Amino acid sequence: MPDGRTINSLYYGSGHLHQINIDGHIISDIERDRLHREVSRTQGRLNTQFKYDRNSRLQHKQIRRNQNPILPDILIERSYQYDNLDRLISKKHSRHGQTDYYYDRTGRIEGCRNQRYWETLQYDAAANLLDHRLPIELDPSNQNVIRCNQLLHFRGHRYRYDEHGRTQTKQTIGATQHYHYDAEHRLSTPSTA
């Protein structure tokens, strides 16, 4: 560090982070289970606990203050549920409530519902995400035009492609991004105008 102090990262076993300290003063301490999954992390007065299901998916996360070990002050609590295809289907958040997720037959997310909002997603035949505002006939600015499997307009953004199918420009309300490529079709110099 510029002031001469040293940040130390302590690892164990096959390279799993156990602790971060500055000249011996602990910044973060991490505990792991026998599968090396993070089960607890302290950062100053905060403690985060993680619980996993039998498929090693995050099931519960709790962040609390470490001031009173008998009556912990829980700041944020989250729990997660999955379906048999390992897709997230429900998330409960202590501050934001429950959010449920819905998927189509191909596994793409098609809906998300919370107490505050309901969002649906639609796709074209090439699996491009479609804007679901008013139809073009009612709102000409909603031109979700797709040509040769290339998205031309989406949510206020306009895209142009070169003869090789590479994104050439992305135009937003306030700026235009230009993309330039080298002879091997690698992005070389993006610029904003």
Establish if 113 belongs to a structural domain. Answer: yes
Domain that holds residue 80: 45-120
CATH for 69: 2.40.128
CA 78/CA 59 separation, integer angstroms: 8
Establish if 106 belongs to a structural domain. Answer: yes
User: What proportions of the chain, in percent to the nearest 5, are helix, strand and coil?
Assistant: 0, 50, 50
Establish if 59 belongs to a structural domain. Answer: yes
Establish if 95 belongs to a structural domain. Answer: yes
Closest by Cα among 32, 24, 34, 30 to 43: 30
Instruction: Quote the Cα angle for 29-32-36, to 5°.
Output: 135
Establish if 108 belongs to a structural domain. Answer: yes
- Tell whether the model's pLDDT for residue 165 goes beyond 50: yes
Domain count, the chain: 1
Establish if 82 belongs to a structural domain. Answer: yes
- pTM of the entire predicted model: 0.64
Q: Which one is predicted more confidently, 31 or 14?
A: 31
Instruction: Name the CA radius of gyration of the chain, rounded.
Output: 24
Establish if 158 belongs to a structural domain. Answer: no
- Reported as a single tens digit per residue, the pLDDT across 61-80 is 999 987 666 776 889 999 99
- Reported as a single tens digit per residue, the pLDDT across 82-125 is 999 999 999 999 999 999 999 999 999 999 999 888 888 887 77
The burial of 151, by beta-carbon neighbours within 10 Å (0-12 exposed, 13-18 middle, 19 or more buried), is given as buried
Establish if 126 belongs to a structural domain. Answer: no
CA 15/CA 66 separation, integer angstroms: 28
pLDDT at 144 (0 to 100): 54
